[in-house]
Amino acid sequence: MKTTTQLLDLTVAMVLLIYVAFSPPLVSGDPGRRVSMTLVRDAAALGAFCLDGSLPAYHLDRGFGAGSNNWLLQFEGGGWCNDIASCVDRAKTRRGSTRYMSKTVVFTGVLSNNASQNPDFYNWNKVRLRYCDGASFAGDSQYGNGTSLLYFRGQRIWNAIILDLLPKGLAKAHKALLTGCSAGGLSTFLHCDNFTSYLPQNASVKCMSDAGFFLDAIDIAANRTMRAFYTQLVSLQGIQKNLDPSCTHAFFPEPSLCFFPQYVLRFIKMPFFILNSAYDVFQFHHGLVPPSADRTGRWNRCKLNVTSCNPHQLDVLQGFRKDMLGALMNFFRNSTRGGMFINSCFDHCQSALEETWLSPTSPRINNKSIAETVGDWYFGRGEETKEIGCPYPCDKTCHNLIPASTSDFLASNASGSGHNYRGTQLTFLFLLFIFFFCN
């Protein structure tokens, strides 16, 4: 499992490397607002600890003006650990301990306080919930063998952070949006209805998942790799008791299926928005074509550059998109308060950066950006807030992780400031790669 975890970290690092290398600069050049960490001092009394026993934390950027009574909470993402060995390793990193986390983070995208980059939520109170439990804020157990002690307390961390925020104004929220990216996007499915129980009855409360719609997919070796992974995760971290009881009853005797958004979605009562790529890069690399299913590396070139995929591989990718849309079809047709933005970019998490959230070159469906679609859905502007893009390769608005072609990339960066900008980026990216690989 340690090797698998290292491969996962390496892949994530490569994804970040390629993504930033081929992305344009921010709209304004502003690197974003840095927000300091707040440790939840009362968390210990609730038994709410990170994997290593450190206190949980969040970052709060206060709202102002007309948004001072509105709240946006974002779950941080960062994968999971589903066995003791990987959780022990994770507890020694920023993914399992606040001791190793940066004490300030940059708020961009949906967390930005810049009206031009985030017009609907810029002046809201915005909170980033740091992720240190390895189970999408859903576990409630612990492990000890005399030498190692691990706290699987994600559910208690969620409760402790909310209780810490209530006296800071959350208890009087007029409007609220619960969101998250990747494993944090999955958290949004798990905690959406519970979130409303803390807030005033007359508050407008909605939820949005970004890149959190993880499919119960069959991989290229005809195995359900993600199902096996989540089954182990739910068992190890004591998640079952925190899953939606209506869902677990419906899916008895396999309650762990309710960790998958596609199965729990129909039981969520609150208005929900699903932002996802139909070719989500993380799921492509770890659900559809996990290393265990491609030991000979036949998919390596395709993973690095979709233009190198052969016809059979492209058919498999189109099949994955078809499966995702099939899993969403009931929601698409029957949800009267739901929203969607399912595009065809090879991407993972699109609400956290200006480039993809809202910029002159951000992804669009029917000429609407992600930020515009989410805003229209939240505030009830217009009738249609369920957008599904056309299949690859027709979408020309993507910030694809893979450029259209190497020659196009070289040609577009052969002169002037663009070349200098890329050179600076690539230097930074090399350091980023070393950091991920060595940790």
pLDDT at 1 over 50: no
CB neighbour class for 204 (10 Å; exposed up to 12, middle 13-18, buried from 19): middle
Reduce the DSSP state of residue 196 to 3 states and report it.
helix
Give the model's pLDDT for residue 43. 98
Long-range CB pairs of 435-439 (<8 Å, 24+ gap) are 435/13, 436/9, 436/10, 436/12, 436/13, 436/16, 437/9, 437/10, 437/13, 439/9, 439/93
The per-residue pLDDT for range 157-192, each reduced to its tens digit, is: 999 999 999 999 999 999 999 999 999 999 999 999
* Sign of the CA dihedral with 334 first, then 336, 342, and 348 last: negative
Active-site residue identified among 348, 351, 369, 376: 348
Give the model's pLDDT for residue 414. 28
249 vs 33, which has greater pLDDT? 249
Q: Read off φ and ψ for residue 127, nearest 5 degrees.
A: -130, 130
**Confidence band of 146 (pLDDT split at 50, 70, 90):** confident
What average pLDDT does this structure show over 19-25? 38
Q: Is 249 a catalytic residue?
A: no
What average pLDDT does this structure show over 270-278? 98
pLDDT at 342 over 90: yes
CB neighbour class for 84 (10 Å; exposed up to 12, middle 13-18, buried from 19): middle
Which structure tokens are listed for 64?
């102002």
Reduce the DSSP state of residue 308 to 3 states and report it.
helix
- Our separate counts of H helices and E strands in the chain read 14, 14
- The CA distances from residue 260 to 8, 229, 386, in Å, are 20, 11, 21
Active-site residue identified among 280, 294, 347, 376: 280
Going by C-alpha positions, the residue among 282, 263, 219, 291 that lies closest to residue 80 is: 282
The per-residue pLDDT for range 5-15, each reduced to its tens digit, is: 444 444 444 44
pLDDT at 236 over 60: yes
Q: What stretches of 22-110 show up as alpha helix (H) in DSSP?
A: 84-90
Cα distance between residue 231 and residue 143, in whole Å: 17
What average pLDDT does this structure show over 38-56? 98
Question: How many residues appear in the chain?
Answer: 439
**Confidence band of 400 (pLDDT split at 50, 70, 90):** low
Which H or E run contains 163? helix 154-165
Give the model's pLDDT for residue 32. 72
User: Among 255-269, 299-313, 389-403, whose mean pLDDT is lowest?
Assistant: 389-403
Q: Does residue 114 come out as left (phi exceeding 0), alpha (psi in the -120 to 50 range) or beta?
A: beta
Active-site residue identified among 23, 86, 136, 182: 182
Say how far residue 122 (Cα) sits from the centre of its chain. Answer: 20
What average pLDDT does this structure show over 350-377? 96
Q: Is 376 a catalytic residue?
A: no
Q: Is 312 a catalytic residue?
A: no
What average pLDDT does this structure show over 99-118? 97
Task: Give percent of the chain with pLDDT exceeding 90.
Answer: 82
Give the model's pLDDT for residue 178. 98
**Confidence band of 304 (pLDDT split at 50, 70, 90):** very high
Give the model's pLDDT for residue 245. 97
Which structure tokens are listed for 256?
């762990």
Q: Are strands 364-365 and 368-369 parallel, antiparallel or unpaired?
A: antiparallel
pTM value is 0.86
